[in-house]
Structure 1
């Protein structure tokens, strides 16, 4: 499966899930965070007010993912993509500095440290 096909499948799944959860959830989803868990993994979605989506798959024991996704948006994406005139917003991110900072923030998070051995 190509990356484009995989991206389309992921987008379709997220769109369908979000639509379903919006209709049946007693919790207000306006805060932009949604997750679902299986017995193998947890899919976490953080959506910004501008409809930019951050998706992170974690193990089922990960803690603090909502905060981590918000941090990735504010401290990594905004700082190293939005404020970088060399990063076009409508193209895939190719910045090595962005990738380095993303890796750094994820590895410092409690969710990364708490993964089972």
Structure 2
């Protein structure tokens, strides 16, 4: 699996974190603008899935194009994780759950310097996310 980039948002739409890996095409806008567009896309897809679902479980996990796959996970506390990968990516749900439990909780939730609802500026957190992604079995 090739990982292109990752986004993390809170339940109010605050763009908390972004990191880039093997992204082929560079954006022609700032990361902030791209983050707003990504949040809007996720919000719209989640809303559409809820409206189309015949039951209360309207889980939106991913969508795929012929070029990439957008993988999505929402935590019980309302954090949104979005990971763009190649179309053949497997096991991404488990990867995102582990990233949340092993990295986010350890280096953000337990870090008194990280303010809730503010962008994550911890260099240690960024390093740990990058290392976690790079050593995952899915990363090439």
Q: Report the TM-score, using the length of structure 2 for normalisation.
A: 0.72
Report the alpha carbon displacement of residue 21 of structure 1 after superposing the two structures with TM: 1.6
Output the CA distance in 1 between the equivalents of 2:30 and 2:136: 31
Report the alpha carbon displacement of residue 48 of structure 1 after superposing the two structures with TM: 0.6
Query: Of residues 36, 58, 69 in structure 2, which corresponds to 1:42?
Result: 69
Does residue 96 (structure 1) correspond to residue 123 (structure 2)? The answer is yes
Q: CA RMSD in A?
A: 1.8
Does residue 67 (structure 1) correspond to residue 89 (structure 2)? The answer is no
Name the structure, 1 or 2, with higher relative contact order (CA <8 Å, separation 6+): 2
- 1:15-38 Cα offsets, whole Å, 9 max, x none, are 1111112232468345xx510000
1:1-117 mapped onto 2 (5 Å cutoff): 1-25=29-53, 28-29=57-58, 34-113=61-140
Give the structure with the higher percent strand: 2
Give the structure with the higher percent helix: 1
Unaligned runs of 5+ in 1: none
Aligned residues: 111
- 1:55-104 Cα offsets, whole Å, 9 max, x none, are 10000111210001001111100100110001112221111211111111
Output the CA distance in 2 between the equivalents of 1:72 and 1:26: 31
Aligned-partner SS, 1:112: coil
Runs in 1 of length 4+ with deviation above 6 angstroms? none
Output the CA distance in 2 between the equivalents of 1:101 and 1:29: 31
Q: Report the TM-score, using the length of structure 1 for normalisation.
A: 0.84
Unaligned runs of 5+ in 2: 1-28
